[in-house]
Each structure stands twice: as C-alpha cells, then as structure tokens.
Amino acid sequence: MLSRSISRQVVRNHIRCVASTSVEFRRSFVSPSSTDRASVTDVGPAVVRQIQEDMFAPRADMLGFKLDVQPQAKNSSDLKARPIYLDMQATTPLDPRVLDAMLPYYTDMYGNPHSRTHAYGWEAEKAVDEARQYVADLIGADQKDIVFTSGATESNNMAIKGVARFHKEKKRHIITTQTEHKCVLDSCRKLSEEGFDVTYLPVQPNGVISLHELEAAIRPDTCLVSIMAVNNETGVIQPLKEIGAIVRKHRGVYFHTDAAQAVGKINIDVDAMNIDLMSISGHKIYGPKGVGAAYVRRRPRVRLEPIINGGGQERGLRSGTLPSTLVIGLGEACRIAKHEMARDHAHVSALADRLIKGISAKVDHVVRNGDPNGYPGCVNLSFAYVEGESLLMALKEVALSSGSACTSASLEPSYVLRALGAAEDMAHSSLRFGMGRFTTEAEIDFVTEKIVATVNRLRDMSPLWEMVQEGIDISSIDWSQH
Amino acid sequence: MASVPSRAALLQLYSNTLRTSKSFSSYNFRNYFIRRTRDTFKSIQNEQDPDKLTRFYDEASKELEVLRRAALINGMYGGQKLVVEREGAVRLRGDT
C-alpha cells in the first residue's frame, strides 16, 4: 500500500517535471549536443524552395482556391485565445441588441427610405424617423435637427468647412484647440490654405482649455468655435456649458463640438449647453461602423454650405440615399445608451478605479495624463522609464493603444499629450485604457497583473531605471558628449 | 389594460432571461447580460406599484425575445475564448 502510493507520487512528480520542461527550456538532465558534434547539413536554398512548393503550393485540382483553414470557434482548446479588448475609444463592439434591430432591414425590409410610392419605402422611412427621434432624445434636440452622415469625421468636416465657407464673405476666423481630433485639425488646416485665420487654443496641464483665453481669442470676424466634448486620448471633458455661454454672447459665432466620445457616455443637452453644431459617431456607442450624425440647430438657424450635393436628402445638407439599416442601428444604440447611461457610467467608474488602484499599488512612477475628473472610461497612464511601444509589444494578451488609432502606426509621441505639456519621454511611455459597457472586473484584474509584471520586467532590463534607482537625476545628464 | 403580473410570472421571466443571458457564447456579452438581468430584476424586487410592474413586465418580455435571437446569432458567429477564460493557463515559474 505504502509502496504504491510512493510510486504514484513519483510518477506524478515525473509528469510535472516533463510538463514544466516542455514550457520552459531552462535546465534539464539532457544537455544539448554541441554544434561541432551535431551532424547538420546545409541543404541549400534550392531544396528549401522545393520543400515549400511541395508543402504549401496549391495543387492543380484545387482550382485556384487558396489553402486557408478557417479557425473553428468551437471546441478548439488548442486555438489561440483572443486578447482582452481595452481600446473602447478606437471602437466599441456592436451591441447584440443593436444587431437584432438591424437584421430585419438587411433581409425583407430593404426599401429605400426616400421612396414615397410604395410600402417598402414607407416602412424604411418610418424606421429611419424613429431612429432620428432616438438620436435627438439622447442629446435633447428636436428630431428635425439631426442629419445622418457616414460618421463623426464627415460630420466634423461638414460643420467646420460648411459654416466657414458659407460665411466667408464677411468672416474669416475659426477657433479650435490643440488637442482636437485629427479630422478637425485637418479641416482647419485646409481652411487656412483657403485663406482663413485659425487660432489653436492651448490647453492647461490638465487638458482643459482656459475660458479667459477663449473669450480673448474671439474676434469680430470669428464665425466658428470648435471644441471637442471628451478627448479621445485623455478622456478630458471640456466645460461645454461655460463655453456655450461665452460663444452665445457673441452674435454670429457658432459653437461646434465633436462629441463622438461623449454622446451616450456623459449627459449632453444641446439647449442647456448652447451647442449649435455637434458630431456623433455610431461605432463609439456600441452601434455600427460607417454611420454617424450631425446636429445642426434650426432655431436660431445655422446655415452651412453642404460638402455633398445631390438629391437634396437630409435638408439638402447631405445628399445621398440614407443607409437605412445603419441609421436604424445608430438609433437603437442611442436608445439603449439613453436607457443605460447611468448604469454604464457607474460600472466604468468602478472599473477605472480598480485599474488605477491596482496598478499604482504595485508600480511606482505612474502618471495619469489629463484631468482626473474626465470621462472614467478613458484612462491614460504614463509609465516612466518604459517605452510605450515596447510595452505594447510585450502585452500580446491585451489589445491596447498608446493613443489615437489614426496615429497608432507612427512612432511619434502623441500631440495631445505634448499639448498637455508632457515631457517627450512621458508622452512616449503612455498607454490608453478604454473601458466600456462590456468590460468585466476579471478582465481588469488580468490586465493589471500583466501590466505590473511587464513594466517591472522592462524596467529591470533598463539601464535608465538602474540609474534612477541609484539616485541619478536623468534629466540633468548631457547625453551628447562628443 | 393588462393584468398585473404575479410574483410567480416575474420570477419565471427572471429565470428565463438569466438562462438566455447565460447562453451567449461571447464572454463579454454573456457577463454583461447576466449582470444587467440581475440588476434590473433586483431593482423592482420591492416594487408595489401595479402600473410600474406591468410596464416592466412588458418591456422585459420584449427584451427577452431580443436576447433569445441575439444569443442564437452570437452562438453562430462568436464565442472564441478570451485569455481570461482560459482554464489552467500556462504559468511560468516565478524564478525565471
């Protein structure tokens, strides 16, 4: 009896030993043969090419179909698990309830919402009007003020270029901020090529603009102030109500806000905030990609020159057949967002708290970029003495970004963080954590654990970190000595 | 006006919604709908107003239909495991 239990113990130990060596080639009883004793023959490139052709080239009877094995989602434990998604500022998953609302319009109800002569058109038009109402309800607007577009980028272009070009005879000045999204900045750059004056307001170190500077920047020939509601990289919320009040005092100046990251996440009321134009995106609020909306105030009327001309749909501001299915998806997403906003906000706040506490408890020298009272679903942290890109490379199990998705291909530090006054090294070491409705606590705990381990590992390798531990002030070093 | 839903009917609806929520294949959707179902039904646990109860029951029944269809579609296209779901994940030795 005793011997049997011992032998079982031995077998079990042996298995455990084998299992651990298969994962880690650390040290084992078998030492590898040295290269001079190993019989390795170099086969040459010709043989390698032959093997590749035999193994991977499509055969003649495959009729040109590529050998492309689709991974089966089910019962595949050997399949690589999907990483955790923490990039909700780039895009959000489509809510299953939104997809359910859209599917009928992808099957039987395919009518053109502008067709007035038959039932297919009427049912699509009715659904589009309902969706318009849901979007308007979410922002406290009238449904006639909503113009559907292809996304927030188009809405921003339409608002900024439209207002500026309509008033170009008398007014030639636009005000925006340095931390705007690229599509706003680029529209302004285009206008400055056309001869407009553009003022790029600086922001304070917490990312919020100074109201005094805004008021001082308004000129008699200013036609538009464009300031985003929630920043896409730092989550900073601008004081829209105060800005709206200042802009309203000046006759003939319109207030546009890019609320792609704000709608459905924080309370927005276009009347209380005196907003004249606003951009909304579908895929940031768990809706479909490829659809957005612009709010264009009718009383007092905001006049703008349309970019797209044609059949005169959407009050003539945006011609072209409405993608009724996408519009209905956006409407349903807005309806759900209005219903769930309080719950989502509480959930996201709790997650952000958990993440920040979890990371700062175990890692030193972590700086949160931007106003801590911003939108909690966007947490931008800088890990000093660690390069953000290498951190991202090491974190294969987490889908994160160091900044905006539009600029994620470049290695330049984020211009938003630079505008906040972050030093170059801190702007290089930033990560953006985007949490949302579908993020769970278990995911946050997993990510915290991974981040802590990775940051500590990278710092252990870093000579800079070693110098900091020795008490050398890095910024005082003159690096170019020769 | 429809009659006020009985306690048993509400409990039945609750268990059906919870079961449907658990049938989502995707980790994030499943957890969200389970959490949401528990939350919403807990919030009306001590509700006495028959009007509110009736409205809640109607809305929740409609949502259950939506969730049933959504869970089916999710099962067809989604459900690849996330890294947090992995059982017995490969753990490296602490001294490496």
pLDDT tens per residue, range A31-80: 666 666 666 667 777 877 777 776 666 666 666 666 555 544 444 444 57
Task: Name the pTM for this structure.
Answer: 0.82
Block residue for tokens 């434990």: A77
* Beta-carbon contacts of residue A105 (< 8 Å; ≥ 6 apart): A124, A127, A324, A325, A328
Do A236 and A319 belong to one domain?
yes
Distance CA A154, CA A148 (A): 10
CATH number, domain containing residue A443:
3.90.1150.10
- pLDDT for res A19: 45
**Average pLDDT over chain A, rounded to an integer:** 88
Do A148 and A245 belong to one domain?
yes
Do A317 and A389 belong to one domain?
no
Q: Of A337, A368, A383, which one is at a domain's C-terminal end?
A: A337
Do A314 and A292 belong to one domain?
yes
Do A304 and A187 belong to one domain?
yes
The pLDDT confidence band at residue A28, using thresholds 50, 70 and 90, is low
Do A158 and A297 belong to one domain?
yes
A253 or A476, which is more confident: A253
- pLDDT for res A262: 96
Q: Does A183 qualify as catalytic in the annotation? A: no
- A155-209 pLDDT per residue, tens: 999 999 999 999 999 999 999 999 999 999 999 999 999 999 999 999 999 999 9
- A366-406 pLDDT per residue, tens: 999 999 999 999 999 999 989 888 898 899 899 998 877 77
Token pair, residue B88, equals 């017995």
Do A369 and A316 belong to one domain?
no
Do A433 and A381 belong to one domain?
yes
Q: Of A299, A318, A337, which one is at a domain's C-terminal end?
A: A337
Is A454 a member of any domain? yes
Do A347 and A462 belong to one domain?
yes
Is A184 a member of any domain? yes
Distance CA A334, CA A395 (A): 33
Q: Is A178 exposed, middle or buried (0-12, 13-18, 19+ CB in 10 A)?
A: middle
**Closest among A238, A234, A178 to A426, alpha carbons compared:** A234
Do A291 and A385 belong to one domain?
no
CATH number, domain containing residue A298:
3.40.640.10
Is A85 a member of any domain? no
Do A237 and A277 belong to one domain?
yes
Number of domains in chain A: 2
Token pair, residue B74, equals 């999710």
Per DSSP, which regions of A240-323 are E strands?
254-258, 277-281, 292-296
Nearest CA in chain B to A75: B80
Give percent helix, percent strand, percent coil of chain B, each to the nearest 5.
65, 0, 30
Q: Give the structural domain span for A160.
A: 96-337
The length of chain B in residues reads: 96
Distance CA B78, CA B81 (A): 9
Contact with chain B for residue A460, Cβ under 8 A: no
Do A333 and A411 belong to one domain?
no
Give the DSSP letter of residue B26: S
How many Cα neighbours within 13 Å face the side chain of A37? 4
Question: Model ipTM?
Answer: 0.88
Partnered with residue A368 across adjacent β-strands are A381
Give the DSSP letter of residue A100: H
Residues of chain B contacting residue A84, judged by C-beta atoms under 8 Å apart: 82-84
User: Could B96 and A26 be called an inter-chain contact, meaning their C-beta atoms sit closer than 8 Å?
Assistant: yes
Is A18 a member of any domain? no
Is A12 a member of any domain? no
User: Could A97 and B66 be called an inter-chain contact, meaning their C-beta atoms sit closer than 8 Å?
Assistant: yes
For testing contact with chain A, the best of B23, B36, B66, B84 (most A CBs within 10 A): B84
**Closest among A155, A156, A202 to A175, alpha carbons compared:** A202
Bridging pattern class, strands A378-383 and A366-368: antiparallel
Span of A93-97, A279-283, A476-480, B56-60 with lowest mean pLDDT: A476-480
Backbone φ/ψ region at A259: left (φ over 0), alpha (ψ -120 to 50), beta: alpha
User: Could A20 and B93 be called an inter-chain contact, meaning their C-beta atoms sit closer than 8 Å?
Assistant: yes
